[in-house]
A and B are shown apart, each in its own frame.
Chain A
Amino acid sequence: MSLVLTLMYESLVLNLNRFNLPRRPLVVSGVALILFLCADVAKATDSRTASKLMQSMRSATDTLNYNGIFIYQRGAQIDAMRIMHKFDGREERERLISLSGPRREVIRDGQRVTYFFSDDREVRIERTEPKDFLSVGLGDSIEYLTEIYTFSIAGEDRVAGRSATAINILPKKRNRYGYQLWIDDESKLLLKSVILNRRGEALEQVQFVELLVNEDLPDVLFTSEIEGAGFTQYTNSSPEPSIASVVDSSGWVVGWLPVGFKMRNHKLQTMVESDVPVSHMVYSDGLAMVSVFVEKLKARSLSIQGFSSMGAVNAFSRVAENHQITVVGEVPIPMVRKIASSVEHLTH
């Protein structure tokens, strides 16, 4: 960048000299150039500071004890929830409880995650993959991310009575969403996050209204008060193994993805109430994530086609060669459609 600017400056000097122009404008443009270069350096420092903050945030989220109430908003829908988190040096325990509407809970105990849905009288137990504790967004370097997003420090603010630093992460192209993160100055926990569309409108927002950090949280707080008698229980005791190959056994491939997206995982999964395995391919650019699901259709009448969305998560479904293809992602609607349209069956 600087090299290009220096070259531009030199060619400007040459051109101006050729026309025998007074030298004063050159001084002015020289000063402007220096200011411009300083801005460039400031930008780089900004993105380094932002990425450092995000790294601290990630480790604080995983390793601190905290107990707080936050609101979750997407469009007109607002819910209040409580989150409790504890780390004993080896394993994380987490409990998320809905405070408005029907009683729902998620309890995470290491890799075991239990979902309680009292409105559906359902309990689901899943085993997740171990969390990647040290990565900055999927282990990608900030240099990689700054090719796709612009990181900047938006300024100081207050959330839940605590002072926070706000970070803007804005996509350079309009095929992504933007993020705004408010990070607690003291604990480095995430106090507020907003996902923005390209018009700057919030699609989804989480904001703490109360947060207590480094509290002693007894184990009893991490057990559900929902009795669960008479609930239907679904258990998925082992995490599905990942498939090593990019092309799954049935030969389906994703032909197009926005620049920067890489495959992160590929599994054959079973879904609740279905015995047909689903091929699940996971892609991410380090911040945004897209899932591609392919499964054989049992009957044409069960096919899904078209768009659906929830907050910042969009989906597009289509049918090809008697297979159901569904793309779910935290990217704008035209992108999920474009990705879904590119999924094709390789014939050998």
Chain B
Amino acid sequence: MKLDHETLSIIVDSELETQDPRKFESIAADQELRSKWARYHLIGDVLRDNLTDVAPAHIADGIRTEIEREPTIFIPQRRRRSWLKPITGLAIAASIASVAVIGVKRSDVDPALSDATVSAIPMQLPDDQIAKVLEEPITVSLDDINPALGTPHTKRRLNGYLVKFNEQRSSFGVPGVNPYVRIVGFESQ
């Protein structure tokens, strides 16, 4: 199966380990997808401030070149109180955005998460490292996606649930993100 860029973007976006090696074989086999994979991760890491000083210079050069090639476009965006994006509308850029509607199949094996896993912040960069990432078995399946996910009714409903969830969170005073912050910061589309 040939993966399109949207699917790649979803895989990069998601925190999922999948169990279908075919998807990853198809990324590994495609030079363009492979470099996109690296680039998306790099963009994500830059945004999350995860890069250490050891990032190879050619990567930075590559980003600079890419940025220079990109036209600068300023678009006034109308923001909506929606936290949901339909799968069909997922742009490539969604690989660095937090909102994605995705279908997943994965088993729930839970080996203990060691401190080292979390403190060693991953840095996906050169091709030889990508190969290692691809070796992890992963399955992403889009079977679960309902086309109705993008409808106004669905968005309203899910937003309603999100508000109710956050209201409960606020009365418990659990540390982390102040629940009202999530309500004020509903996604832009």
Residues of A whose CB lies within 8 Å of any CB of B are 54, 57-58, 61-62, 72-77, 79, 81, 83, 94, 96-98, 101-102, 104-106, 108, 113, 115, 117, 119-120, 126, 128-133, 135, 137-138, 150, 152, 168, 170-175, 178-179, 181, 190, 193, 195-206, 264-265, 269, 271-274, 278, 280, 282, 284, 286-289, 291, 293, 301-313, 315, 317, 326, 328-330, 332-335, 337-338
Tell me, rounded to whole Å, the shortest Cβ–Cβ distance linking A142 to chain B: 13
Residues of A within 8 A of B165 (CB): 289, 291, 313, 328-329
Determine whether B118 belongs to the interface, using a CB cutoff of 8 Å to chain A: yes
Whether the pair B164, A128 counts as a contact (CB closer than 8 A) is no
Chain A CB within 10 A, most for which of B78, B160, B175: B175
Flag B119-162 by CB within 8 Å of A: 1 or 0 each: 11110000000000000000000001110110001101110111
Determine whether B68 belongs to the interface, using a CB cutoff of 8 Å to chain A: no
Q: How large is the interface on B (under 10, 10 to 19, 20 to 34, 35 or more residues)?
A: 35 or more
Query: A222–B144 Cα gap in the complex (Å)?
Result: 45
Query: A305–B154 Cα gap in the complex (Å)?
Result: 9
Residues of B within 8 A of A306 (CB): 101, 103, 144-146, 149
Residues of A within 8 A of B44 (CB): 75, 201
Among B31-39, B55-63, B179-187, which stretch is in contact with chain A?
A: B179-187
Residues of B whose CB lies within 8 Å of any CB of A are 13-16, 44, 47-48, 50, 77-81, 83-84, 93, 96-104, 106, 108, 110-113, 115, 117-122, 144-146, 148-149, 153-154, 156-158, 160-162, 164-165, 167-178, 180-188
Indicate which residue in A77, A96, A334 contacts B187 across the interface (CB closer than 8 Å).
A77
Tell me, rounded to whole Å, the shortest Cβ–Cβ distance linking B23 to chain A: 16
Tell me, rounded to whole Å, the shortest Cβ–Cβ distance linking B96 to chain A: 4
Knowing A306-B145, A315-B161, say if A175 contacts B110 (CB, 8 Å).
yes
Whether the pair A313, B174 counts as a contact (CB closer than 8 A) is no
Query: A52–B62 Cα gap in the complex (Å)?
Result: 47
Indicate which residue in B96, B117, B156, B181 contacts A76 across the interface (CB closer than 8 Å).
B96
Knowing A98-B184, A203-B15, say if A75 contacts B164 (CB, 8 Å).
no
Whether the pair B117, A200 counts as a contact (CB closer than 8 A) is yes
Residues of B within 8 A of A115 (CB): 183
Tell me, rounded to whole Å, the shortest Cβ–Cβ distance linking B32 to chain A: 22
Whether the pair B47, A313 counts as a contact (CB closer than 8 A) is no
Whether the pair B121, A75 counts as a contact (CB closer than 8 A) is no
Whether the pair B184, A106 counts as a contact (CB closer than 8 A) is yes
Whether the pair A76, B122 counts as a contact (CB closer than 8 A) is no
Tell me, rounded to whole Å, the shortest Cβ–Cβ distance linking B112 to chain A: 6
Whether the pair B113, A172 counts as a contact (CB closer than 8 A) is yes
21 contacts between A and B (CB under 8 A): A75-B13, A76-B96, A77-B185, A79-B185, A96-B180, A106-B180, A152-B115, A174-B110, A181-B176, A195-B176, A201-B44, A203-B15, A278-B164, A301-B148, A304-B149, A306-B103, A306-B149, A311-B182, A315-B162, A333-B14, A333-B102
Knowing A96-B181, A334-B108, say if A200 contacts B83 (CB, 8 Å).
no
Knowing A128-B167, A132-B172, A200-B117, say if A337 contacts B104 (CB, 8 Å).
yes
Residues of B within 8 A of A175 (CB): 108, 110
Nearest 8 pairs of A and B residues by beta carbon? A75-B98, A310-B83, A74-B98, A305-B146, A197-B15, A129-B171, A76-B96, A291-B165
Knowing A101-B188, A195-B176, A200-B122, say if A265 contacts B149 (CB, 8 Å).
no
Closest to A106 in B: B180
Whether the pair A173, B112 counts as a contact (CB closer than 8 A) is yes
Query: A190–B181 Cα gap in the complex (Å)?
Result: 14
Closest to A124 in B: B163
